[in-house]
Copies of this chain bind each other. A is one copy, B any other.
Amino acid sequence: MTAYSCMNTAELEHEYTQVLNKYESCKAKGLNLNMARGKPAKKQLDLVSDILTVMQTPEDCFDGTIDSRNYGELAGLPSARAYWADVLDCKSSQIFVGGAASLNMMCDIVSRAFTHGLLNSPRPWCREEKVKFLCPAPGYDRHFQIGEFYGAELIYIPMLSTGPDMDMIEEYVKDPLVKMMWVVPKYSNPDGIIFSDETIRRIANLKPAAPDFAIIWDNAYCLHEFEGDYVPFPDIISLCAEAGRPNMVFEFASTSKITFAGGGTSCMAASEANIEYFTGVFGVQMISYDKVNQLRHVKYLKDKAHTLEIMKRHATVMAPKFRCVSRWLNHEIAPLGFAHWVDPKGGYFVSLYTMPGTAKRVWQLCKEAGVTLTNAGAAFPNSYNPKDDHLRIAPSLPPVEELEQAMEVLTTSLKLAALEKLLNK
């Protein structure tokens, strides 16, 4: 195969005709496939469904002397706080255990920041002339939607191979209206990269002008390797404390992709002062999150080491799917030289950089051929990608057979959109 950039117009026209024929034959299959969201596959959910039976009797419901079935323990059962401290390598006193979704706690933090302020806020954010959030992108669309919902100005920070562009971030935080930054530091959504040690060090050592600048450190994929061994990751809580801003970071994790996406448990990790402050704030809305489910998870997952064993089961399902994506892209697209991507070793996504100006068209071509992808641009603040060159692939849900079909459609669409662009069709 020849790179498109090395073809003359006649060759491109020839290629176009061939690709168009291929696309039409794909379309004729009448597929209905979905790679839009990072949903676990049924097979993965089945692999962990033993969790349903770890609590059977009233006696099973006790965490020491605490009855998980009754009210109380707003910050979480002691055993659940200890579990998360083990996973995130911090202290139990730095853990607040939440409900089924860590996103809900992130939104609560933002909501209360706007109406009441954070621990070190001079005033509630709604009393600021304007509030700005730093959004390394491509990133997690639901993070950005929370910022949009509260009317924050979202500032696009490019993602590099080491993590977000720290030069830009260090500049931006000099603005006292810059109040928040959202990151997924390990197997970033969707690039699948791990922030470099240098990036993490620079983040922990930020000296923002806003005394209440907060980092949402969404460690959603902290244990989520599907290729190779577990990669240790530093504890951001202690790094920020060592750098003199202990209250600057809120870390989140959940079991949504460890046990059940529809019935997991989650946690927030932060400085003891933040945990105390937010235990007060959350005490207005809650008596406690679901402690029976907290205990069910502790009994099933036990500790970090045992959880990593369970993650190896998920890897047996996940790895073949990511290999399928990689194989199609490397075989069909790499030689043509107009697109690039990252082959991740963990997380839930593949970040695909199309020929600039064609991502939306690729999305539309896939849609018309029965393959639903996450909206082009969704991974950017305000859903706007100025280069129109990015798609997020979520291969976890479909079985490999379906994925093969979907990747045929996707690679064909990638080519077709590129050729349309090159030939001004």
Which one, B45, B99, B286, contacts A70 given CB within 8 A? B45
User: Are B111 and A263 closer than 8 Å at their CB atoms?
Assistant: no
User: Are B107 and A285 closer than 8 Å at their CB atoms?
Assistant: yes
Which B residues are in CB contact (< 8 Å) with A58?
A: 42, 45-46, 49
User: Are A146 and B293 closer than 8 Å at their CB atoms?
Assistant: no
Which of A42, A101, A260, A292 gathers most chain B CB within 10 Å?
A: A292
User: Are A260 and B292 closer than 8 Å at their CB atoms?
Assistant: yes
Instruction: Let me know if A37 is at the binding interface, CB within 8 A.
Output: yes
Known: A52-B56, A99-B99, A101-B286. 11 other contacts (CB 8 A): A45-B69, A49-B58, A68-B263, A71-B262, A101-B288, A108-B285, A111-B115, A115-B150, A145-B284, A146-B285, A262-B292
Q: Which residue of B lies closest to A150 (CB)?
A: B115
Instruction: Let me know if A346 is at the binding interface, CB within 8 A.
Output: no
The 5 closest A-B pairs by CB, nearest first: A263-B292, A107-B285, A69-B260, A100-B290, A262-B291
Q: List 25 A-B contacts (CB under 8 A).
A: A39-B71, A40-B70, A42-B58, A42-B67, A45-B69, A52-B55, A52-B61, A68-B263, A70-B261, A71-B256, A73-B262, A99-B100, A99-B290, A100-B289, A107-B284, A111-B115, A115-B150, A126-B126, A142-B284, A146-B284, A146-B285, A262-B288, A262-B291, A263-B292, A264-B290
CB distance from A123 to the nearest CB of B (A): 13
Within the oligomer, what is the number of copies of this chain?
2
Given contacts A46-B58, A107-B285, A285-B146, contact A67 B262 (CB under 8 A): yes
Q: Which residue of B lies closest to A262 (CB)?
A: B291
Which B residues are in CB contact (< 8 Å) with A68?
A: 262-263
User: Are B286 and A104 closer than 8 Å at their CB atoms?
Assistant: yes
C-alpha spacing A104/B107, complex, angstroms: 13
User: Which residues in chain A, 107-144, are within 8 Å of chain B measured between CB atoms?
Assistant: 107-108, 111, 114-116, 126, 142
C-alpha spacing A104/B53, complex, angstroms: 28
Which B residues are in CB contact (< 8 Å) with A288?
A: 100-101, 262
Interface residues of A (CB under 8 A from B): 37, 39-40, 42, 45-46, 49, 52-53, 55-58, 60-61, 67-73, 99-101, 103-104, 106-108, 111, 114-116, 126, 142, 145-146, 149-150, 256, 260-264, 284-293
Q: Which residue of B lies closest to A261 (CB)?
A: B71
Q: Which residue of B lies closest to A105 (CB)?
A: B285
Which B residues are in CB contact (< 8 Å) with A69?
A: 45, 49, 260-263
CB distance from A108 to the nearest CB of B (A): 8
Q: Which residue of B lies closest to A48 (CB)?
A: B69
CB distance from A262 to the nearest CB of B (A): 4
User: Are A262 and B290 closer than 8 Å at their CB atoms?
Assistant: yes
C-alpha spacing A49/B55, complex, angstroms: 10
Which B residues are in CB contact (< 8 Å) with A146?
A: 284-285
Which B residues are in CB contact (< 8 Å) with A55?
A: 52
Which one, B42, B57, B293, contacts A263 given CB within 8 A? B293
Which B residues are in CB contact (< 8 Å) with A107?
A: 284-285
Which of A72, A146, A290 gathers most chain B CB within 10 Å?
A: A290
CB distance from A296 to the nearest CB of B (A): 9
Which B residues are in CB contact (< 8 Å) with A60?
A: 52
C-alpha spacing A111/B52, complex, angstroms: 34
Given contacts A56-B52, A293-B293, contact A101 B40 (CB under 8 A): no
